[in-house]
Amino acid sequence: MSAIAAYYNDKSILITGATGFVGKVLMEKLFRTSPDLKVIYILVRPKSGQTLKQRVFSILNSELFSKVREIYPNVGEKIRAIYADLSKDDFGISKEDMEELLSCTNIIFHCAATVRFEDPLKYAVQLNVVATQKLLLMASQMPKLEAFIHLSTAFSNCNLKHIDEVVYPCPGEPKKIINAMEWLDDAIIKEITPKLIGDRPNTYIYSKALGETVVQEEGGKLNIAIVRPSIISSTWQEPFPGWIDNVNGPGELIIATGKGLLQLLTVGPMTVVDLIPVDTVANLILAAGWYTAVHRPKTMLIYHSTSGQLNPCYCKKMALQVMATLEKTPFEKAFRRPCTVFTTNTIAKQFWKAVSHRIPAIIYDFYLRLTGRKPRIVKLMNRTLNAFSKLEYFISQHWEWSINNTEMLMSQMSPEDQRVFNFDVRQLNWLQYIENYVLGLKKHLLKEDMAGIPEAKQHLRRLRNINYIFNTVIFLIAWRLLIARSQMARNVWFFICSLYNL
Strand ranges in 105-237 using DSSP code E only, listed in sequence order: 107-110, 147-151, 162-163, 224-229, 231-233
pLDDT the model gives residue 351: 45
- Structural domain spans, the chain: 3-238+274-311+399-425, 449-502
What are the distances in angstroms from CA 305 to CA 243, 251, 361? 19, 19, 39
pLDDT-based confidence at residue 40 (cuts at 50, 70, 90): very high
Q: Which of 42-51, 102-111, 489-498 is most confident?
A: 102-111
DSSP 268-306: -TT-B--EEEHHHHHHHHHHHHHHHHHH--SS-EEEEE-
The rounded distance, in Å, linking the Cα atoms of 207 and 118 is 12
Query: In 3-state terms, what secondary structure has residue 424?
Result: coil
pLDDT-based confidence at residue 347 (cuts at 50, 70, 90): very low
pLDDT-based confidence at residue 405 (cuts at 50, 70, 90): very high
User: What torsion do the CA atoms of 33, 36, 39, 45 make, to the nearest 10 degrees?
Assistant: 40
Residues 447-456 have a mean pLDDT of 79
Contacts of 132 (CB under 8 A, 6+ apart): 110, 150, 211, 214, 215
pLDDT in tens, 265-292: 666 667 888 999 999 999 999 999 999 9
pLDDT-based confidence at residue 388 (cuts at 50, 70, 90): confident
* Residue 389 buriedness (CB in 10 A; 0-12 / 13-18 / 19+): exposed
Q: By the 8 A CB rule, do 51 and 180 touch?
A: no
Strand ranges in 157-213 using DSSP code E only, listed in sequence order: 162-163
pLDDT the model gives residue 349: 54
Q: CA angle 49-55-56, nearest 5°?
A: 160
pLDDT the model gives residue 135: 95
The rounded distance, in Å, linking the Cα atoms of 145 and 408 is 24
Nearest CA-CA partner of 14 in 112, 85, 114, 124: 112
pLDDT in tens, 468-498: 777 787 777 877 777 777 777 777 777 777 7
Higher pLDDT, 220 or 123: 123
pLDDT-based confidence at residue 398 (cuts at 50, 70, 90): confident
The rounded distance, in Å, linking the Cα atoms of 385 and 393 is 13
pLDDT at 353 over 70: no
| CATH number attached to the domain at 3-238+274-311+399-425 | 3.40.50.720
pLDDT at 101 over 80: yes
% of the chain at pLDDT higher than 70: 90
pLDDT at 240 over 80: yes
pLDDT the model gives residue 413: 96
The rounded distance, in Å, linking the Cα atoms of 208 and 115 is 9
The rounded distance, in Å, linking the Cα atoms of 459 and 468 is 14
pLDDT the model gives residue 182: 86
pLDDT at 344 over 60: no
DSSP single-letter state for residue 47 = B
- Measured from the Cβ of residue 132, the count of other Cβ atoms closer than 10 Å reads 27
User: What torsion do the CA atoms of 201, 202, 205, 208 make, to the nearest 10 degrees?
Assistant: 150
pLDDT the model gives residue 357: 59
Q: By the 8 A CB rule, do 309 and 403 touch?
A: yes
